[in-house]
Chain A
Amino acid sequence: MRALVLIFCFGLFSESGQTMEAQEVDALRSSGIRIVTLMRNLNATRKYPDALPSLLKTMNEETSTRFDTDPLFISELTDERLMENPILYVNCDDQPNLEFPAEELAALRRYMEQGGFVYLDAGIKASFLGADLGHSYAAWEERPEVNELFRQVYPEKSFLPLPRNHEIFRSFYKGLPKNRDLMIEANQKRLPETVLTFVEQEKWPQGTYSFVGMKVKGRLACVASPICAMGWGKDEFGSWIPPISFRIRESAENFDENLKLASFSGGTYEVTREDGLKDVIYSQLGQRPLWVKEPNGRWRIFKYYSGEEISNYAHAFYTRLGMNVFLYALLN
């Protein structure tokens, strides 16, 4: 793996017309692969500051790769250090906006064409979540700002949904977390039945998630996902931070009749599903989403579940997913 990484880095350098000195190879080997993180305002508050270092540390512990757990922050895509590192991580929620000057757009295009991989976390975000940034939603469409950005970088390309059987979802881990991944006693894993069924069958089937991607020269060079970083952080004792609650869609008797008629005072929003059809989300002013009307005419309600076991499960899932993405980026 380490050799592969070095070859990858060599590729970047040779194409950019530079030669890596033996000394720099040694430095890379000793400190590990450095992830470049874009923070357009370096003084801004990051939503999940422990997330990426924790994920990189976990990867160092559980795989044979060596990442520098100290991400390198850049504020502009023209920063020359970007070209020296193979992966660019962008938490779209941490950026004041996604509007870049022409030279940065050109640098981004050059980076992707020369082998760089761009991971846009929170690059998918359902409109009904509003300012509630700490939530993910499995919409299968990049957020409008991301779409606008890449329309300028690659006018001829568009993001496409990654199928559930894509290699990115199984490059290291396969399937959903097991008991031993949850860091709690075996007899404690008592996810409410409704939560577990929904997670296994609909929310994250086989450990997959809603991703869209863009290929450059036949290689997947950029992916966008709903926010995953919220599930990567660990504190100094190895406990997951912050607590995560699940939003699930669950049904009950009479919902088709009751929800069709039930009152609501907020807006309605359309969200693209995996199959390209649209869900209609109903909301209440100042509150979390209420319920959904699915394209098959079925009505279901949103419920939030929280608790230690749910949070642990979500963290284990997001961490495995994050590891799969970074390792896929290195191997491909």
Chain B
Amino acid sequence: MRQRFSQSLVFFAGTTLCLFGQAPSEDPLAPTSLSANGRQDGNVSAPKPIRSSQAETVRKAGEDLRFGEEGARVGAAKLLGKYPGSLSSMMLVGALDDQSALVRRASMVSLAEQANNGYPLYDKSLVEKVFSKLGDPDVEVRREVTAMIPRIVSGLMRGGMEVVEINGQKVYRSVPANLRPDLHQLAIRAFSDEDAIVRQNLLKYHQYIRVALPASTLVSLLGDPDQRVQLEALGRVYSNASKRPVVEKIKELSSHPEKGIRLKVVDVARDSNRYNPAYRGILRAMTKDADPEVTSMAAVELARFGERIAGDVIERIKQYLLAARGMSSQVTTILYAVSAMGKDGIQVYRALTEHSSSKMRSIAWQRYLSLSSGWQTPEAWLPGMSDRDKGVRDAILMSLRGRVKSLKTEELGELVGSPYADVRIFAGQTLLTADQEAFDQYGFDLLIDEDTVVRSTTLRAMGVRRVTGWVRIMSRSLLDEDYVIQRVAMDALLTDRHEGVKALKEYVAGNPQARISALARAELDRLGVR
């Protein structure tokens, strides 16, 4: 015969020895001294009435909660929420059986408040009492319970050891970390609660309490009249994704009138593809969806699987992205995923280089040039140089630098005529590889540019190319007021040990006090030139 000790001991992992096993607060029953608080001292305008100690406050509220009229009981329950601790928790849990729904609600809100402030219930019997209120007739109480699941789960699901007496002998045995059977049943029933928020919360948190979601219940919730519940249920498909009824239901939902549901179906079909090949078919069908956003999402997911996308579908994606205003996360996903279409994606990115959103244009230009090797054909990227947004131009220039081959006269002319300094700087950089004819025509235009960086870049290119009369140009540039220009000229002259160094020496001798002269002397010394 097995006889359980009437006072059997339950040892829980991590238990402290305080009442009800809760994490100890800073001596909740200790009286509070107002004057000991520095923060209060700084606020002299506040009244300082004579106050009771915390223990007295909690005791008084506890009395009101048990013996007061309904209104007083509600007030006491609200007040106790401000005093986290084992005593107040026990009082609030006790009030969960109050005949007044208002008191039960106030108690549950106060328990939630304590949990949110970092004092969740930890004692298993108290937590189980709270969870049992999942069967409360008041919907607000049930909502609070389901919303609190993440906060109470550690107490609810704790395992441990217990001592029982079997045939007169003490036996230690483990207590499984499972939900009590009656509470488990309550949770299963709550999947079908009349209130949608209760159903939704339970769907969100059922894994915390290790309550499996049966396939039949999942199918039923996938067809829930409430869309939030449906969306939540769609997020739980993976656990039963291979089951035929679930696949059928997902197929049905792929033509749901609500776009949000259909978009979620795309995600689900993508993630569930590994469990059942039928999901790939659902995605294919969804590329024919009436909404271009859904079409686009389905198509990019197929492209990521390596499927070739039909031309008409690509055209719809292009139109969708062109009509999109700004970079929502959905648009961003599609925009980047177009790359998965390979060469088919080039035309989409090309079209998007004229989008109204600068961010979209930047990405489109980068992808377009990258996928099409567009840096080899100036006519492909030259239109981007007149973009009004500097960020877009920067993105293009970043893709071009170091890759552009020799530019022709009219191409370089277009860059030189740009109103944007960043483009003209790029023109100066391309002088290094430009046609001689183009160089002759535009080199000097850039050399007198209003922007210092344009001039210095051009000067550097001239130094490298050693154009006719370059030493004279550099020598004159040493007289420039701008240190950047002087520095570039000096660097160029130093590369020629004969004419260049000679010119530099002459400059230093003639302008010993000039700002660049000190550096020039040091450089000449380094070369062994005296």
Contacts and interface: CB of A to CB of B under 8 A. Distances in A.
A307 interface: yes
Interface stretch (A5-13, A222-230, A250-258): A250-258
Contacts of B357: 31, 68-70
Interface in A271-316: 280, 284-288, 290-291, 293, 301, 303-309
B226 interface: yes
B263 A264 contact: no
B51 interface: yes
B78 A262 contact: no
A32 interface: yes
A70 B359 contact: yes
A50 B113 CA distance: 28
Q: Which of B79, B106, B264, B359 has the most CB atoms of chain A within a 10 A radius of its CB? A: B79
A43 interface: no
B43 A184 contact: no
Interface in A214-248: 235-239
A56 interface: yes
Contact of A258 (B39, B75, B200, B225): B75
A112 to B, nearest CB: 25
Nearest to B105: A192
Q: How large is the interface on A (under 10, 10 to 19, 20 to 34, 35 or more residues)?
A: 35 or more
A269 B46 contact: yes
B226 A267 contact: no
B40 A185 contact: no
A264 B51 CA distance: 9
A62 B71 CA distance: 45
B51 A261 contact: yes
Nearest to B329: A236
A134 interface: no
A286 B113 CA distance: 13
B222 to A, nearest CB: 16
A57 B329 contact: no
Contacts of A179: none
A3 interface: no
Interface in B90-140: 105-106, 109, 112-113, 116-118, 139-140
B174 interface: no
Given A268-B46, A293-B47, A261 B82 contact: no
Contacts of A30: 356
A301 B78 CA distance: 8
Contacts of B330: 236
Interface string B3-42: 0000000000000000000000000000110000101101
User: What 7 A-B pairs come out closest when comparing CB atoms?
Assistant: A69-B326, A252-B75, A268-B46, A253-B71, A31-B356, A267-B39, A236-B330
Interface of A: 24, 27, 30-32, 50, 53, 56-57, 60, 67-70, 184-185, 188, 190, 192, 235-239, 250, 252-255, 258-270, 280, 284-288, 290-291, 293, 301, 303-309
Given A70-B325, A238-B260, A262-B82, 19 more contacts: A27-B388, A70-B327, A70-B357, A188-B196, A237-B263, A239-B231, A254-B64, A254-B68, A254-B72, A261-B50, A262-B79, A263-B51, A263-B53, A266-B37, A286-B117, A287-B82, A304-B116, A308-B228, A309-B197
